[in-house]
Amino acid sequence: MLGSYHNHPGYCDGSGSIEDYIEAARAAGLVAVGVSSHAPVPFACDWTMTVERFAQYVADVRAAQTAWRGRFPVWLGVEIDYLDPALVPNGAAFQREVVLGGGLDYAVASLHFVGRDPEGRPWAVDESDESFARQAATVYCGDVRRLVEDYYGTLERLTSWARTLPVPVVVGHLDKVKQWNVGERYFSESASWYREAVERVLAAIRAAGVPIEVNTSGLRRPIGAPYPGEWIMRRCRELGIPVVVGADAHQPGDVAAGFVAARELLAAVGYRETLVLGAAGWETVPL
């Protein structure tokens, strides 16, 4: 009963056509597919859609949705960035008008931008290992803990913002900050400060009443674990936070990548249910 709602066809940094993702989702035995290209942002960024591209994207997804109506559910989403007002003062207004104004079926609310890089541009936490090391060394003067706490502090603010969006929302890749932490070379997830930072976010998510995503893309990277990992998923289960499985596919063949592992992880920590999109928003279905 799994759908796949975190997919990037070739409108942002992903590849493949919308039709390719639909065919791949059907072949994988999924019950629905949603596409979630990176929404435009009001500054230069080479991995998000431009405003012009976004208009084409919306038209193309709506056309595919119509073509498949009654045969296979296709949903129009975006992966939308939390843009902290201190970082991008016009961010929320831009998103309201340009991204959310035309109507979407859902959104993956994600945090990539945490503060500024040494050149003063919004810095993305997942850009590259080199970029992470440089950010920690320069902007944070070697204090990785402060960088990570900034990430989770911003994620707390994302949660309050996400609940105000006029579409069904899922919080994307919660612990993305660990992407380059292979072998825990930057920080230990067992450290009390790390656990406490995560716990504060989980409390905020629970209070906001929004689901989180178990994102399998980390399984395809050197970190070799989903976002979030097992101990956080166990805490989500204990807190009663609903979960949506997402692949974060950037090519059609990954539309269900890692879903068997994700299902096993969710079952192991006690989840019996997941969510799929329906006309009225997220609906609970057996795992």
Between the alpha carbon of residue 52 and those of residues 11, 48, 99, 117, 281, the distances in Å are 10, 11, 11, 27, 28
Instruction: Identify which of residues 156 and 195 has a Cβ nearer to Zn ion in the complex.
Output: 156
Task: Give yes or no for residue 79 binding Zn ion (CB under 5 A).
Answer: yes
Q: How far is the CB of 227 from Zn ion (least distance, A)?
A: 9
The one among 84, 175, 248, 254 contacting Zn ion by CB under 5 A? 248
Instruction: For the sheet with 169-171, list strands across it.
Output: 3-4, 32-35, 74-81, 106-110, 169-171, 212-215, 243-246
Q: How far is the CB of 258 from Zn ion (least distance, A)?
A: 14
Q: How far is the CB of 272 from Zn ion (least distance, A)?
A: 27
Q: What are phi and psi of 156, to 5 degrees?
A: -60, -40
Q: How far is the CB of 286 from Zn ion (least distance, A)?
A: 26
The one among 48, 65, 110, 159 contacting Zn ion by CB under 5 A? 110
State the burial class of residue 185 (Cβ atoms within 10 Å of its Cβ: 0-12, 13-18, 19+): exposed
Q: Which amino acid is located at 245 in the chain?
A: V
Q: What are phi and psi of 244, to 5 degrees?
A: -120, 135
Q: How far is the CB of 34 from Zn ion (least distance, A)?
A: 12
* Whole-angstrom Cα Rg for the chain: 18
| Continuous segment of H or E residues that includes residue 207 | helix 192-208
Instruction: Identify which of residues 175 and 248 has a Cβ nearer to Zn ion in the complex.
Output: 248
Tell me the site size for Zn ion, rule CB under 5 A.
3
Instruction: Identify which of residues 7 and 65 has a Cβ nearer to Zn ion in the complex.
Output: 7
Instruction: Identify which of residues 110 and 216 has a Cβ nearer to Zn ion in the complex.
Output: 110
Instruction: Identify which of residues 135 and 179 has a Cβ nearer to Zn ion in the complex.
Output: 179
Q: Which residues bind Zn ion (CB under 5 A)?
A: 79, 110, 248
